[in-house]
Structure 1
Amino acid sequence: MKEKESHHINWDLISNYLNGEMNTEDKLAFEKLIAINAEYAKIVTAVNKDLNCIHELNKIHQQFDVDKAWLEVKSKLKNQPEKATKFPFFARQNAKKILQIAAMLLITIGLGFASYRIYTDRLVPYQSISSEINESSTTITLPDASLVSLHGESKLIYEKSFSGKERRVQLIGEAYFEIAKNPEKPFIISVGNAEIKVLGTSFNVNALHKQIEVLVETGKVQFSNAKEPNRSLILEKGDFAILRENLLEKRTQNDENYLSWKTKLMVFKAMSLEQVAKVIDRTYQVQIEFSDTSIQNLPITTSFNQTPIEEVLENLCRPHKLRYQINGHRIIIEKKVE
């Protein structure tokens, strides 16, 4: 077996270089050596990378104070009942050493988890955040300061640093986006079989059903079928478009409550109680049921803005002599018993 030629490497030279202990002339000479000697170059790169990791771990290590921990343990031992002093002599003599070893083991475990987290962040550069089925809204601040509000039962996957030439995310469900402007780095959303490209704007994307809907509040976006990116629509403020299967088209959006889940503003104009219930379900992530189908067609004309759901239900039920019962996220509306 061939012996490794590590004895030819001048480790003191490498150490002085990495520690910044060389003068300008020596540093230039050593960098020339690195340029022509692949083994030196490989070692310097590897050691420098490890030093960076150690630097990060040292930051975490500074959070642990072994001496302070030992003093706290020692103080507690002094406050123990007298019978504790009946331990064998050798046990008393070695107690401090044993406890110090145990403390170091705990620190080592802590550093192990910390280093695992550091390496995991480097190897797995993506973050995934989900909103629960009964959450009306979950807001996320992305690395570029863009804001994303996730509707219930939705998920966003994004790169932790946006280090590439574009800011790309993947959406499952529905979300409202407020994108930080950066003309040099477009923001791209992959959702189902669609792709939405934007430089800076605010808009809603809904893929909760068998179609993908985009409503633009401000700015401009490009909405396309991912399979046919050349066939796209440019949407501006107020535009609404749908991609269903392979058909991409603009439509008119007349639903005043389309964004109520985000704004908590609901406007009802001569709507049936059944229609109103659907808006409330979407806004507050609840499920309204009726004990009697005859009350579903009762007319409702009113509005609510950032109103607690109990107050909303109370105002809807009172004029029609109804009552409601809340059981978790399930709400039953029924006639009052006279």
Structure 2
Amino acid sequence: MKNETSHNIEWESISKYLSGEMSEEERTAFEKLIDSNSEYAQIVAASEKDLGLVEDVIQIREKYNSDHAWNQVHSRISKPDNKNMSILANQNFKRVLQFAAMIVLVIGLGLVSNKVYKDYLSPYKTFISKAEDSSKTIVLADGSTVTLNGEAKLVYPKKFNSATRNVSLEGEAFFDIAKNPEKAFIITVKGAEIKVLGTSFNVIAQEDKVEVLVESGKVQFSELENNEESVILEKGDFAVLKENSLNKTLMNDDNYLSWKTQKMVFRGMPLKDVAKVIERTYRVKVEFESNDIANEKINTTFIQDPLNVVLTNICMSKSLTYEKKGQTITIKKGI
């Protein structure tokens, strides 16, 4: 796992990276820096986006050719019997057009730099994990850690200065909260709120439901629109908020946290269900050549094994083979 660290912002390096002027070695090192620091990643992403704005401004300036514009005007206002006045107008009007073009460019660059610095100086940070990431860990200002599954979004303050420690989440994440009885930690998700003082738990915030699994400590899980609709969850408790209904139960899925622990346990499980666990753990898509293969059952356990090792072992046990194209895996009968 990679923890967020603090780095000085090197604008020259960001410029070289975005302009493609880095060597392969420099680029690799710089991308490792981006991966290890969400603040850097935000600034690079904002700079890359705003670079498009600069290019648009430049294109407008290039299209607005002052020489060409003057030539058109000159052909209309210059007369043979007023040559000196024509030359003077030429020079003055040309300067006006060039100055106007410069103003447009400066304003464009000002908008870009203003946005970058505004994001940089904001009291909040936003981190969005990549689709292929399954265990990106961020350390918050109070020492709490948040491990995000792929395509999760976390918004959090750079410093917890208020009476409570508030963050918001979209997607899935595992929270390990630093204890502070005087300052509750509150997570806002779609239609729900999770309040803790110090504990560890998993949250999935989807479009139609919110799930919470508590690994240690105690959590208060509430519906935002109805404060009376809440439950207290302790170790092993699992609750789901769906369609304004909040239900508490026990978790009996050994692989619910496999995306974080990289541990998968399969006990007489059909490959079609195994595939769902693999997809969630490694952020891939698994398909089968036939239903017969999908219904094959296996008994095995994997602990922090790379995806290729998992697939190879599963296929060998059933005389199967697999083909990987991008993030899609197809399991087929062996030759």
Once residues 323 and 131 of structure 2 are traced to their aligned partners in structure 1, the CA distance between those partners, rounded to angstroms, is 21
1:252, CA displacement in angstroms? 2.3
Q: Which has the larger radius of gyration?
A: 1
1:121, CA displacement in angstroms? 4.7
Instruction: Report the equivalent of 1:290.
Output: 288
Once residues 281 and 257 of structure 1 are traced to their aligned partners in structure 2, the CA distance between those partners, rounded to angstroms, is 12
Once residues 244 and 238 of structure 1 are traced to their aligned partners in structure 2, the CA distance between those partners, rounded to angstroms, is 20
Question: Aligned AA for 2:232?
Answer: I
1:113, CA displacement in angstroms? 6.4
2:165 to 164, 167, 186: 167
**Secondary structure, counterpart of 1:294 in structure 2:** helix
Instruction: Report the equivalent of 1:36.
Output: none
Deviation per CA, 1:4-47: give whole Å up to 9, x if none.
xxxxxxxxxxxxxxxxxxxxxxxxxxxxxxxxxxxxxxxxxxxx
Once residues 333 and 209 of structure 1 are traced to their aligned partners in structure 2, the CA distance between those partners, rounded to angstroms, is 30
Instruction: Report the equivalent of 1:188.
Output: 186
Once residues 190 and 217 of structure 2 are traced to their aligned partners in structure 1, the CA distance between those partners, rounded to angstroms, is 23
Instruction: Report the equivalent of 2:231.
Output: 233
Highest RCO, 1 vs 2 (Cα 8 Å, sep ≥ 6): 2
2:249 to 244, 248, 251: 251
**C-alpha contact 2:190 2:207 (8 A) present in aligned 1:** no
After superposition, residues 1-338 of structure 1 pair within 5 angstroms as: 117=117, 121-122=120-121, 124-337=122-335
Once residues 271 and 231 of structure 2 are traced to their aligned partners in structure 1, the CA distance between those partners, rounded to angstroms, is 36
1:143, CA displacement in angstroms? 1.0
**Secondary structure, counterpart of 2:312 in structure 1:** helix
TM-score, normalised to structure 1's length?
0.64
1:266, CA displacement in angstroms? 0.3
1:132, CA displacement in angstroms? 1.4
**Secondary structure, counterpart of 1:217 in structure 2:** strand
**Secondary structure, counterpart of 2:227 in structure 1:** strand
- Please identify runs of 4+ aligned residues in structure 1 that moved more than 3 A: 112-117, 119-122
1:230, CA displacement in angstroms? 3.1
**C-alpha contact 2:239 2:246 (8 A) present in aligned 1:** yes
1:299, CA displacement in angstroms? 1.0
Flag the 1:182–1:320 CA change in 2: closer, same or farther, 3 A: same
Flag the 1:231–1:147 CA change in 2: closer, same or farther, 3 A: same
Flag the 1:225–1:116 CA change in 2: closer, same or farther, 3 A: closer
Flag the 1:121–1:336 CA change in 2: closer, same or farther, 3 A: closer
1:209, CA displacement in angstroms? 5.0
Deviation per CA, 1:128-156: give whole Å up to 9, x if none.
00011222121111111110011111100
Question: Aligned AA for 2:276?
Answer: K
Flag the 1:126–1:308 CA change in 2: closer, same or farther, 3 A: same
Question: Aligned AA for 2:329?
Answer: I
TM-score, normalised to structure 2's length?
0.65
1:166, CA displacement in angstroms? 0.6
Q: C-alpha root-mean-square deviation of aligned residues, in Å?
A: 2.1
Once residues 263 and 217 of structure 2 are traced to their aligned partners in structure 1, the CA distance between those partners, rounded to angstroms, is 22
